[in-house]
Structure 1
């Protein structure tokens, strides 16, 4: 699974800036999730635009809210920068489509200092098999088209729709088209596993993301393409809402990012 060449995620979606400072990108139907464009793609594009808008800083956090229903085709991303102190900025990005907003994102960027002896680095001690020792699992692209873009290798835990007693999944994930491991790529991967409640079900249900946040931790040793260990866990499903926590780690077990999603439970399936 080790990839050697690099490819920017933004190139996959033809993301480019216009003369007025707004960005355009194309999301085709191969990047759809259950019923529309994959939310991780929209989050990743917002992060990319923020990073390009403040190129002298590093993305540290993302807060995204869906305010409309996305569709395939062109999306327009409009960034606005607000300085916060000497070296921190907030880049607000409005993601629009066909003249209306579908999502808003607030991305915090700032200067990253040199590592020091007092650093606290979250490194997992879990003994997990290496990516090349795990069998691939294909998310059926006829059901979830974006599954056709992924090399997904479950590590342990239950699989989706198996009626398992525990709501969590863990897998090595990379895109089939090798991409640089940066903040935008991590935002994409943070949303690539099914909702963490799915292992407890025997048929799918609609649980669209309403709010998505991600916080960057230790920087990657090497931004070159590499599989990322994605561990997602459902911490609450009740009252028509479902909350997932997700961690993303490198092959050394170092925490690269942590994410949380609030999802609306639209319809339950038979369990």
Structure 2
């Protein structure tokens, strides 16, 4: 998993800005999820556009809602910046496709102060194997195409569709094409593990994301491509809805971001 070069996420999806400040991007079918463009890619593109639109601030939080079903074709991302005080910015991004909105995102950005002795830093106490000591696991690209873009190495816990008792997964993840580790990249990885409900099942069900939030705990100390420890845990599934909590940590256990997703459970089958 050693990576020596970096590649911007925006380049992977041909993100470019027009003269009017509106962005366009393409999600290749190899980056699709179950039945359409991967939700994590859409979230990552919204964060990328926000960061480029307000370059004087740093991404601190993302709140994204899907309001339509993404499909094949160019994405159009329209950002609007609202200043809040002297150093905070809220960038609202409407993601459209074929003349209709498919997602809306609100990205909170602000100035990051220098480190201080009073900082509270979450560094995990778990001792986990290093990425190179973990065996790779492939999400079948014939089922979920974007799995072919990932180097995913489970650390512990159950695997998807094994009928396990625990609704959780933890793995080192990096993209096969090295990308800069920034807030957009973290938004992508926050949605790269299967729904945390999946280890308790023996057959897949559709569990589409309705909303995704992510809070940046600490900006990455180094933006060079590197494996990220992603852990997801299902905290609730009932009434046709499912909620997952996800953490993303660097190789020394430092918490980079925490995310939460609300999902619809469609076509439920017996576990």
Shared fold by TM > 0.5? yes
Q: Does 1:79 align with 2:82?
A: no
Match of 1:243 in 2: 243
* Superimposed CA distance per residue, residues 218-263 of structure 1 (whole angstroms, 9 cap, x where no aligned partner): 1212100000000000000001100000000000000000000000
The 1-side partners of 2:107 and 2:208 are apart by 21
Match of 2:28 in 1: 28
Which stretches in structure 2 are left out of the alignment for 5+ residues? none
Query: What is the deviation of 1:165?
Result: 0.3
Query: What is the deviation of 1:67?
Result: 0.1
The 1-side partners of 2:115 and 2:135 are apart by 36
Local SS of the residue matching 2:186: helix
- Would you say how many aligned residue pairs link Structure 1 and Structure 2? 271
The 2-side partners of 1:2 and 1:120 are apart by 30
Matches for 1:1-271 after TM superposition, within 5 Å? 1-271=1-271
Task: Please provide the CA RMSD for this pair.
Answer: 0.5
The 2-side partners of 1:25 and 1:253 are apart by 33
Local SS of the residue matching 2:42: helix
The 1-side partners of 2:3 and 2:48 are apart by 21
Q: Check the 8 A contact 2:209/2:262 in 1, yes or no.
A: yes
Query: What is the deviation of 1:270?
Result: 3.0
Query: What is the deviation of 1:174?
Result: 0.1
Q: TM-score, normalised by structure 2?
A: 0.99
Query: What is the deviation of 1:4?
Result: 1.1
Q: TM-score, normalised by structure 1?
A: 0.99
